[in-house]
Amino acid sequence: MAHPPNLLFFLSDNHARGATGCYGNAVVRTPTIDRLAAAGTRWANAYTASPLCCPARAAIATGRFPFQTGYWDNAIVYDGRCRSWMHRLRNAGFDVVSVGKLHFRSSDDDNGFGEELAPMHILNGKGGVSMLLRWSDEEPVNAGQWGLYLEQSHAGASHYQAYDGEISRLAIDWLRRRAAKRDRRWALFVSYVSPHPPFTVPQALLDSYPAGAMPLPPLFGPGERPAHPALEHLRRIMGFQAMTDEGALRRIAACYYALVTHLDREMGTVMRAAESLGLLADTRVAYTSDHGEALGAHGLFGKYTLLDPSATIPLVMCGPGIPAGRVVDAPVSHVDLYPTLVESAGLPPDPADRDLPGRSLLGNPASRGPVFAEYHAAGSRHGAFMLRDERHKLIYHVDAPRQLFDLDADPHESRDLAATAAGGVVADRLEARLRMLCDPEAVDARARADQRAKAEYWGGNDAIRKEGLLVYTPPPGVAAVVEPARS
């Protein structure tokens, strides 16, 4: 190709790697994503940098982990202060435009886009401030999270799906305008809010997923789910009750899978438009999500943990120069996207990027070393840190016993090996590698201090508790759903 390709980058919210056809799920239907994977490369073991919307999205933008940027949670979020891959492409002459959910602080910040269409940022530039209390005894119980899954997973319509449709419409309109000009290289970031809860979906979609045919999540029952203290604390803070109603679990799974198919269809409308406009011949297409979804596994819903259902994500890329039909097993991370997209744009290395932790995904797919992730937000008294190599995964908790899983032998993470003799040796090795990257105790102390300071900025703990808990961020023009805080 004589010039660098354009970029069409799709991002979703809350899409579990395992809820994708090309990743081996025989129930869910994701033909658009599956076609992208078949036409290009699929990374089989891609991980979020942090299993929560805002810190994950900040890592995607900056190529840096939360401990490097200080974007810890859904209240201390990306504000344009750290350079993004969007800045790099825009400064090199690309037309860089976003459509849809960003979940940064505000469009008043220079986030790197030349234009933000229908942007969804944190609510009122303030976000989920209840997360700032996660380090204290005053962290409220977010019972609305349990209700969000149990009570709102049914047939119907939601503001989120209407917003997804508007995102697709605006993206297609922009592509039509771009096809008529073709005067500059471009990067279009199309970011949907699905399949984030509520899992409220049209009946026509839900009819394709009979609840009785849905699989049950692994390790969901009170007698089998792990009793690790960090997980027990999370279950209490999120109000997750004993999961004994298998019918409800199957219904929630059916609604989630239907919502994933809704996302796939929206992506398909944009892809068909791009193809009909003749734009795909010189455009690379990427798809990923900000984090996964536990969907009842280990007695949990949502994100919030470094267990695989929440921490793994789909990641595919196709287009000029991307090998077709390739599957890369080596673990990779959100932070690898910044160098990948900069290289894809044909930009030279920049000295300011020398300390980026990620590596470009283009070229040699060989082993890349362990992948790191971290979490410092709702439901965690102290920080949690993950290191995943080709086979094993360590989760290091500052305030609780570490966990070790052999993912080859135990993909559902049912057997914690950290306390065994052989497992302890592996855990020691991975912990030593982790400490070469960061000091977990020092990072945890810094995150907690930043959150205490931000809580004071917003009036202190009592003022935050009086505000109540934001159940989920509303799309533009829609009122927020807020639950009263309770202990």
Condensed to tens digits (0 to 9), the pLDDT of residues 73-126 reads 999 999 999 999 999 999 999 999 999 999 999 999 999 999 999 999 999 999
- Nearest-CA neighbor of 18 among 52, 45, 36, 39? 45
Least confident among 93-97, 139-143, 303-307: 139-143
CB atoms within 10 A of CB 35: 18
Report CA-CA distances (Å) from 128 to 19, 251, 278: 27, 28, 42
| DSSP codes joined into one string, 116-177 | EEEEE-SGGGT--GGGGGTTSTTPPB-HHHHHHHHHH-EES--HHHHHHHHHHHHHHHHHHH
Nearest-angstrom CA–CA distance, 17 and 23: 7
Rounded distance, CA 474 to CA 487, Å?
25
In-domain check, residue 397: yes
Would you say 15 and 304 are in contact if contact means Cβ atoms under 8 Å apart?
Answer: no
Name the H helices within 1-51: 31-39
Quick: pLDDT tens for 186-222: 999 999 999 999 999 999 999 999 999 999 999 998 8
Residue 299 has pLDDT above 70, yes or no: yes
Q: Each residue of 231-261: pLDDT tens digit?
A: 999 999 998 888 899 999 999 999 999 999 9
User: pLDDT, tens digit, for every residue of 397-443?
Assistant: 999 999 999 999 999 999 999 999 999 999 999 999 999 999 999 99
Distance between CA atoms of residues 453 and 50, nearest Å: 21
What lies within 8 Å, CB to CB, of 85 at 6+ separation is 61, 62, 63, 112, 337, 338, 341, 342
Report how far apart, in Å, the C-alpha atoms of 244 and of each of 81, 158, 213, 217, 415 are.
Answer: 46, 27, 18, 12, 22
Token pair, residue 235, equals 């279950």
Residue 165 main-chain phi, psi, to 5 deg: -60, -40
Torsion on CA atoms 317, 189, 169, 164, rounded to nearest 10: 80
Cα(428)–Cα(8) distance, rounded to whole angstroms?
Answer: 42
Its pTM surpasses 0.75 = yes
pLDDT band at 1 (very low <50, low <70, confident <90, very high): very low
Q: Does 376 map to a domain? A: yes
- Domain membership of residue 1 (yes or no) is no
- Percent of residues, the chain, with pLDDT higher than 70: 99
Mean pLDDT of the chain: 95
- Cβ-contact 41, 220 below 8 angstroms: no
- Asked if residue 457 belongs to a domain, the reply is yes
Tell me the pLDDT band of 143, cut-offs 50, 70 and 90: confident
Hey, CA dihedral for 275, 278, 281, 285, is it positive or negative? negative
- Please tell me the total count of domains within the chain: 1
Tokens representing 139 are: 């962290």
Asked, for residue 159, whether it belongs to a domain, the answer is yes
Q: What is the CATH number of the domain that holds 334?
A: 3.40.720.10
Q: Nearest to residue 273, comparing CAs of 165, 190, 175, 166? A: 175
How many C-beta atoms surround the C-beta of residue 278 within 10 A? 11
Asked, for residue 306, whether it belongs to a domain, the answer is yes
State which residues form the domain around 277.
6-483
Q: What is the pLDDT of residue 239?
A: 87
Q: At 458, list the tokens.
A: 């917003």
Mention every residue, 6+ apart, whose C-beta is less than 8 A from residue 292. 14, 15, 16, 17, 18, 48, 51, 303, 308, 309, 310, 311, 312, 313
Residue partners of 391: CB distance under 8 A and separation at least 6: 406, 407, 408
pLDDT of 461 > 80? The answer is: yes
Is 410 within a domain? yes
- Say what angle helices 53-62 and 337-344 make with each other, to 10 degrees: 40
Round to whole Å and give the CA distance between 200 and 160: 9
CB 256 within 8 A of CB 289: no
**What is residue 296's three-state secondary structure?**
coil
